C-alpha cells in the first residue's frame, strides 16, 4: 500500500537520480530537472539522495494515502496541504493513512519534489526508476501520472532520527532575470571571438517551447557561425548549449537526446542548472563565462554541503 492518485496535476512523474550508462544506446539518463531540490527532499525524508520521488511541474497532484509515511516537499512553493490544512515546505512531515495530500499551482518556480520515506515501489528499468516519457521507460508505465494510479511504498516509516531537526529554509529561486555560469566549448571555435563575446553580452528569453528535453531561448540578435551550425554528431551533456544554424540557443536538460549535430558554444555549470529548471517562459537568461576549475570547485562544495546535512541528520548517502 502507498498512495492513490486522485488528481495527477499537469505533469507529475516518478524520478530517481537518473539512468546512467545507457547513452551509448540512445537512452537519456532522465532524472530530476532540479537536482538540488530533489536531493534535499530525499535527505529530509530520510532517504538516500538518489531515491525515487515525484517531480511536479507547475501544478501538483492530489494523493490519497493508504499507509502512514513521512514525506518532504521541496522546490517551488506548491502550497501543500493535508486534508485542507497547510503543511510546511522543506520539512519532514508524517502523513497518515486516509489523509489526502493536495497541492496548488507552483509559485516562485516551476517544479517541486515530493519524497516519501523509503522510496516508491515502481519497477527499475535499466537500473533506474526514472520516467523517460519519450521512450516510455521507467516510473509508472513510462508516462506521467494519471487519475487512479496506485504507487506503493518500499519501506515507509512513522518516525526518523532527529525528526524535529528535519527542516530547512525554503529555497528562493531567481525571478524574471536569471544568471547562469558557462564553461565555453567544445565548439566555441565555430564562432568568431566577437560572436562569443556577444553571447555573453546579451541576454535571451525563455520561450514556451521549453520542456524536460531542453530550454529554448530567443535572442533579439541571433548568433552567427563562421560557417554554419552543423557538426559531426557527438555527445550531449546536461547543460549543453546548442546553437543551430538559425543562431538561436537551446540548453539541453534532463530528458535531452544523447547525441546532437549542432554546435555547442558552451555548457551551463552543474550548480546553476536548477535555476533553469525552475525558470518560466518569459524569464530572461544572462550568461557569465567561467573556467572549468571554478565549475568543479562549486560542484564539490555543493556535494560537501549535502553530505554534511546527511551527517547532521544521522544518515548515509
Domains parsed from the chain with CATH numbers: 2-171 (no CATH), 177-299 (2.40.100.10)
Q: Is the pLDDT of residue 314 over 90?
A: no
Distance CA 30, CA 129 (A): 10
Over residues 71-84, the mean pLDDT reads: 98
- pLDDT tens string 249-267: 999 999 999 999 999 999 9
Q: Please give the distance of CA 64 from its chain centroid, rounded to a whole number.
A: 25
Whether residue 174 contacts residue 284, with contact meaning beta carbons closer than 8 Å, is answered with no
Q: How far is Cα 2 from Cα 290, in angstroms, rounded to an integer?
A: 45
Query: Does 245 have pLDDT greater than 70?
Result: yes
Residue carrying the nine cell digits 547525441: 259
- And the C-alpha cell for 306? 549535502
| 293's grid cell | 576549475
Please return the burial class of 287, using the count of CB atoms within 10 Å of its CB with bins 0-12, 13-18 and 19+.
Answer: buried
Q: In the predicted model, what is the mean pLDDT of the chain?
A: 96
Nearest residue to 287 via CA among 297, 272, 301: 272
Count CB neighbours of 5 within 10 A: 20
Question: Which band of pLDDT confidence, cut at 50, 70 and 90, is reported for residue 315?
Answer: confident
Sheet holding 53-57, edge to edge: 11-15, 53-57, 107-116, 69-77, 93-95
Which is nearest to 262 in space by CA: 223, 303, 210? 223
Band the pLDDT of 125: cuts 50, 70, 90: very high
Query: Could you read off the pLDDT of 175-223 as tens digits, one per residue?
Result: 999 999 999 999 999 999 999 999 999 999 999 999 999 999 999 999 9
Amino acid at each position: 500500500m502507498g498512495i492513490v492518485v486522485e488528481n495527477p496535476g499537469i505533469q507529475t512523474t516518478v524520478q530517481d537520480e537518473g539512468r546512467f550508462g545507457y547513452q551509448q544506446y540512445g537512452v537519456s539518463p532522465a532524472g530530476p530537472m532540479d537536482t538540488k531540490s530533489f536531493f534535499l527532499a530525499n535527505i529530509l525524508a530520510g532517504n538516500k539522495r538518489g531515491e525515487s520521488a515525484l517531480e511536479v511541474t507547475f501544478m501538483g497532484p492530489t494523493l490519497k494515502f493508504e499507509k502512514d509515511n513521512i514525506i518532504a516537499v521541496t522546490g517551488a512553493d506548491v502550497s501543500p496541504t493535508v486534508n485542507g490544512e497547510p503543511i510546511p515546505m522543506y520539512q519532514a512531515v508524517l502523513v497518515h493513512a486516509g489523509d489526502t495530500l493536495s497541492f496548488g499551482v507552483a509559485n516562485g518556480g516551476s517544479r517541486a519534489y515530493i519524497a516519501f520515506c523509503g522510496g516508491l515501489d515502481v519497477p527499475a528499468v535499466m537500473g533506474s526508476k526514472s520516467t523517460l516519457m519519450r521512450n516510455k521507460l521507467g516510473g509508472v508505465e513510462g508516462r506521467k501520472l494519471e487519475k487512479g494510479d496506485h504507487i506503493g511504498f518500499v519501506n515507509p516509516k512513522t518516525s526518523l532520527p532527529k525528526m524535529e531537526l528535519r527542516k530547512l529554509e525554503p529555497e528562493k529561486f531567481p525571478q524574471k532575470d536569471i544568471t547562469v555560469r558557462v564553461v565555453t566549448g567544445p565548439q566555441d571555435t565555430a564562432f568568431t571571438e566577437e560572436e562569443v563575446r556577444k553571447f555573453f553580452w546579451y541576454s535571451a528569453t525563455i520561450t514556451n517551447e521549453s520542456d524536460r528535453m531542453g530550454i529554448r531561448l530567443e535572442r533579439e540578435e541571433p548568433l552567427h557561425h563562421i560557417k554554419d551550425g552543423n557538426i559531426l554528431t557527438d555527445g550531449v551533456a546536461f547543460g549543453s548549449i546548442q546553437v543551430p544554424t538559425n543562431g538561436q540557443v537551446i540548453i539541453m536538460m534532463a530528458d535531452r537526446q544523447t547525441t546532437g549535430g549542432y554546435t555547442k558554444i558552451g555548457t551551463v555549470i552543474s550548480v546553476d542548472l536548477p535555476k533553469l529548471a525552475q525558470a518560466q517562459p518569459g524569464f530572461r537568461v544572462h550568461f557569465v563565462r567561467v573556467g572549468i576549475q571554478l565549475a568543479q570547485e562549486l560542484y564539490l562544495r555543493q556535494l560537501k554541503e549535502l553530505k554534511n546535512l546527511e551527517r547532521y541528520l544521522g544518515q548515509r548517502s
